[in-house]
Chains A and B, each alone.
Chain A
Amino acid sequence: MMSLHEALEILAQHRGQRIVIATMSAAGIWPSLSDKPLDFIYVPSAMGQGPSLAHGLALAQPERGVIIVNGDGCTLMNLGCLVTLAQHPANVYLLIIDNGLYEVTGGQPTPGAGRTDFAGLARAAGIGRVYSYDKVEAWRVGAAEALTGPGPVVVWLKVQGRLGQQTPKPPRPMAEQIQRLRQALGTE
């Protein structure tokens, strides 16, 4: 199984010019890998709503593409977003970081940990392009294909859980993040 850091390093190599929204555990690591105006650390967030925020952005900016790095717990809180993504296709690349834990609250197991088939849920919702990786080499090889071409795409990444993590903090105030993003998108 790969570490979260390894998974995100590979993402950083393949994100291109797309917006990257990072939530929860990934939000604590992503700024060390990329801190551009198109990187949006969604902290503080609404629980489970990262994919929906990304979906709206992708519909508004259809040529841009939006990568959303979401947790397994977050995804479980808003499974309907998969159906909505299929209903209104957009260039959204939803990475589900599955560590089986609510990592930022101290590492309590998520419901269905180790049993929930996120790829199956995505396919059943109507998402056509679904990928699963649980080894770093497989993700390294597969990332280019998974993150290329039209969305929506769901990538299920099984990563090692970490205990003793702190709630991530954003690298800058939300207002500043939004201003940077809007400047980069030309939507100010």
Chain B
Amino acid sequence: MFDGPSVVAALEDCGVTHVVWIPDSDIGRWEPALRTATRLQLLRVCREGEAIALAAGLHLGGKRPLVLIQCTGLFEAGDSLRNIVHDLHLPLFFVIGVRSYYAYQRGASTDSCPVFTEPILRAWQLPYVLLDNRHSAADLAAAYRQAQAKNQAFAVLLAE
């Protein structure tokens, strides 16, 4: 399970300096912990493509940002992702909430978000791992550290 305090603590331990985000109803619950974090800064942006470009600037400037968005925003942000990850080759780290994942799995939702999120990431050639309620902030931190060690862009999908 993921909660704001444990996620923030894990990200701070990883050395993340900035979380660039647009919340959804799940990750939005992390807002108090992100807002009051002392070792990372929460940056609120207006659109997900903007989040990726802003994080790219932070990275070029020597910081260690993380992009925290929902899959709906990922769909909007394709051009930004393509440019930053594949033209500029910046190893940004993404945490992306997958709306309706559990409901779709049990046939209780026709939301198309779970249908398209993973194929979209594969199309953009962005490696990823899906974390669900069997995982914890420690798994998120492990994914971050592994991506940093490989100096590669990477996404964690969070089942919602």
* A residues neighboring B (CB under 8 Å): 44-50, 52-61, 66, 78, 80-81, 83-84, 87-88, 174-175, 178, 181-182, 185-187
Provide the bound-state CA to CA distance between A53 and B88, in Å: 12
A50, A60, A80: residue with the most chain B Cβ atoms closer than 10 Å: A60
**One of A44, A60, A81 near B61 (C-beta < 8 A):** A60
Q: How many residues belonging to B are interface residues under a CB distance threshold of 8 Å?
A: 30
Interface-side segment among B7-15, B49-57, B106-114, B133-141: B49-57
Chain A min CB distance to B46 (Å): 3
- Complex contact A59–B18 (CB within 8 A): yes
Contacting residues, chain A, for B18 (C-beta < 8 A): 59
Interface of B is mostly: helix
Inter-chain contact A53/B46, CB cutoff 8 Å: no
Would A44 and B87 count as touching, CB distance under 8 A? Answer: yes
* A-contacting residues, B75-102, CB 8 Å: 79-80, 82-84, 87-89
- For residue A178, which residues in chain B have a CB less than 8 angstroms away from its CB? 60, 88-89
In angstroms, how far is the closest chain B Cβ from the Cβ of A28?
18
Q: Is the beta-carbon distance between A49 and B58 smaller than 8 angstroms?
A: no
On whether the beta carbons of A175 and B44 are closer than 8 Å, the reply is no
Distance between Cα atoms of A185 and B63 in the complex (Å): 12
Interface centre among A46, A54, A175, A185, by most B CB within 10 Å? A46
